[in-house]
Structure 1
Amino acid sequence: MGIKCMVVDDEPLAIKVLEKHIMQVPDIELVSTFDNPITAGDFLQNTAIDLLFLDIQMPVVTGIDFIKNTTIQPKIILTTAYREYALEGYELDIIDYLLKPISFIRFYKSINKYKALNTTIEPIAHKSSEIDTISDHIFVNSNKRMIRVEFNNILFIDSIKDYVRIHTADDTIITKDKISSFVEKLPSYFLRVHRSYIINTGKIASLTSKDVVLLGGMEIPIGASYKEIVNLIKN
């Protein structure tokens, strides 16, 4: 199930930047944007939101005032051009503090913080799922058999139409599924670097701005929308 998020900022350009970033992460849904925190508060009374990107410096009602006076609140990531508000924001139990201009890499790290704080175990009733996550491995439905795959053995994952291939040092396992369904189930050291590829960052031998070379010499392209992921890998 995707993360339902909302943006509140009085600057149209700032909203557009976050909209662009959100579009690049497959498991996030932007439900609505607001340039007025009062209207946003009314919206929250009737709509369930998981994550709120909230600007601090806004006329009439600031982001800090909004947090202090709104009873129904999702998890919050503050956005602002002013570093000095960081301490007060963290005292209000926010998830993260994004300093404008917000890069995709910094945005992506905040999303991972949210996921780390809100990781839940899938209900056992979901028996129809093609993959089931358990501690350090997954079970993949391949050829009507559930095959155990250790996370540490995975080099990369790619997709071809309606199928996903899991590549290990010794084997390639094929399952009928979508690559987006793997994004939420894999540990944080796996990164999606292309619409068709997820890599295990622990298996990187070298990288450039165009591709990642994994141990064993396999070259994985970096998609145009994921260029900044290279900087995240370097860090």
Structure 2
Amino acid sequence: MNCIIVDDEPLARQEMQALINDVSDIEILGMFPNAPSAIKFLETNSVDVIFLDIEMPMVTGLQFASQLPKNTLVIFTTAYPKYALESYELDAIDYLLKPVDKSRLQKAINKAETYKKLLSDETEKNTLESNTGDYLIIKSERRFFRINFADIKYIEGLKDYVVIYTGNQKLITAMNLKTIHQKIPHGTFLRVSKSYVVNINFIDSFDHHNIYLGENEVPLGDVYKKEFFRIYAGGSLNPEG
């Protein structure tokens, strides 16, 4: 897997380069001070992952990310937490706050590698075969899996795929999040952002920005917040804060 680094701060680019080399063998093809120079590079080069700053001159990282092809994965690196929800709306792989922690970077790269495999020819044929009664039949990695609705903790969408998380499995199938959400019980599963559906029975706690399911944390999108508070909290809390 390869990557590029896009950041308008020279020191930030150097620090990210050193961190990536320290935790992974991912190949760094280049480093760029702004989006236009990176765009020019992408015209003649294939890049798997872009480590992308957000607040940059000319073209912001968010604007740049919205123009990228589906098979290019983005990991945002920024000093500002306020862009996190918007980044997930763009199907970003991860959102790292500066100074970037090595363990968080390693986790983000591992996730990118998982999705790189997901987008490969080997996994493109995975699909949802059927849903019957209280379970789904999933074809994943050339095998069929029966997944009980009650065992699904949450479902993550990435472009034209979903990842279904249970207590001990992570299954990938070729289907968008909207379609699979239509095939599972809406009373139990809530859409909480553009990229996530959660099983309310696994929710431990939540705040105005995130939902916590054991060790897992998923973002709560502004568009879905009011409905989540109405259904899960019975409308007793103010979604605005």
Q: TM-score, length-normalised on structure 2? A: 0.47
- Say which one has the larger Rg: 1
Q: TM-score, length-normalised on structure 1? A: 0.48
